[in-house]
Amino acid sequence: MVKMNNIRDSFQPPWSVPRGSIGKIIYFFIIVSIVILFSIILKNDLGYFGWDAKVFCRAGRALGEGHNPYLIDELGGEFSWNYLPIYARGFLFACSRFAFADNYIFLYAILFLFGMAPWLEKDSWLYGIVLCATGLYGLGWVLRSGNVGIIELFLISMAALLLLKGRYNLSLFILGLAASVKLFPILYFPVFIAIIPGWKPKVRAAIFGGMGFLLPFLASALIYPELTPWYFKQILGLIPNQHLAINESGGLVNPSLAYLLAGLLSIEIQPTAELVVAFLLYLLMLIFLFRVWKTSLSNPEKAGMEFALGFGIAAATIFMPRIKPYSFMPALLSFYLMTREYNEWGRGLFLLALSLFPLTAYYGIQHEITFSALTWMPGTMKNIAVILYQYHQTFFLLVSLGILMALQSSSKLLKQNRKTSNVQAH
């Protein structure tokens, strides 16, 4: 197993500015600004909250009353139920015993802290909490909507922790469970499997991942054989006149990279075509990722499994074929893993890019001041600015990943120059 100190020694912070009083003052000023702005936004958003949690409770109630939760007429409300029937059973218990729709915020806060706790270190815990709680307003969207994205984060966090501890089979099994809830986390599988050394452990872990993914499907088919086919009908859009999440167009509620690129290029794109384009982008990302990892993964102690895993999770998140505003939290956790050894200047830079700037953009959208403030811009520039505001989560995550790559490249170049100077000196 790779020792954690070896990993950290391999990836020292590229920012060599000493820790000084000026850096600390600026760093804590950024943190205070983020916390205040996040609190203001969340307070405004919680005026109307819990729409997803209400759907979950309606699905549980419909199941308990013998109705079909996949039919909106029997479910009630506007939004559809898009999860396996076995999970509706779980919400039947949670909603009837614990009033889940009213109290989910407390449960989600606990899951968030438990998901973060194994990673937090003495000198970086504040940075980790602020980055992952406020970054890209992901947690804010979870608390606002009541979506199970926080459960997804918790499972992915546990899977990553087990992977780095060498518990590959259990890691992929838990990742498979996460994918059975939201489906798209299955696209993290190539990243996790690539980290595992040796072909036999990779294949064995992939089998366990498949078992974790299929187990809830099998349980649903055995316990609710009449409802499980309706799940597939709903996911594939075969139930007419119902809300289908996969058909949502791009924008604030679906900031997919494919839609972002299409908007910047002024190309009209349909949801089905968007999925095709997005999957192609995802495959290109994997090819690029494996080329970047080709050297580092052959010597994981030197390259740092932790950094490689974090970089892969962040890149895979950006290239998800469909993504919701609350689905960015695994990428935020990965950025914390990759930058927690940075000094105040480096941490402050990523807090600006991943928290303060995105929160400012969202605040502008929330109060409808963003677009009116852009009226002075020429037509093309205004359109681009509006698109970037609508896709601010994807945009700032992409920018942050680019900054991280640039810093790591400069760090490696400095090390090479230092080695060359030492050789010449001798």
What pLDDT, in 10s, does the model give residues 132-143?
A: 999 999 999 999
pLDDT at 118 over 90: yes
Other Cβ atoms within 10 Å of 299 Cβ, number = 9
Tell me the C-alpha distance between 58 and 72, whole Å. Answer: 10
pLDDT for res 369: 57
- How far apart CA 60 and CA 309 sit, in angstroms, is 36
Residue 373, pLDDT above cutoff 60: no
Q: Are 315 and 20 in contact (CB under 8 A)?
A: no
Higher pLDDT, 360 or 278: 360
- pLDDT, residue 13, reads 46
The pLDDT value given to residue 378? 63
The answer to whether the CB of 31 falls within 8 A of the CB of 126 is yes
What pLDDT score was predicted for residue 261?
80
Whether residue 424 is predicted with pLDDT greater than 60 in this model: the reply is: no
Q: Tell me, what's the pLDDT at 157? A: 96
Strands (E) in 131-242, as ranges, are none
Query: What totals of helices (H) and strands (E) does the chain contain, helices first?
Result: 22, 0
Q: Are 158 and 187 in contact (CB under 8 A)?
A: no
As given in the structure block, the two tokens for residue 358 are 């995105």
Whether residue 272 is predicted with pLDDT greater than 80 in this model: the reply is no
pLDDT value at 78 more than 80: yes
* Mean pLDDT, residues 304-308: 81
- Cβ-contact 132, 354 below 8 angstroms: no
For 417, how many CA atoms within 13 A lie in the half-sphere containing its CB? 6
Global confidence as pTM: 0.87
Q: Could you tell me the pLDDT band of residue 323, with boundaries at 50, 70 and 90? A: confident
Flag whether pLDDT at 423 surpasses 80.
no
Q: Helices 125-134 and 344-351, interaxial angle, to 10°?
A: 10
**In 355-391, alpha helices (H):** 357-366, 379-390
Least confident span in 189-198, 263-272, 338-347: 263-272
Q: Is the pLDDT of residue 336 over 70?
A: yes
pLDDT over threshold 50, residue 404? yes
Q: Nearest 5°: CA angle at 126, between 330 and 317?
A: 15
pLDDT averaged over the chain? 83
Which pLDDT does position 357 carry in this prediction? 94
Give the number of other Cβ atoms within 10 Å of residue 218's Cβ.
12
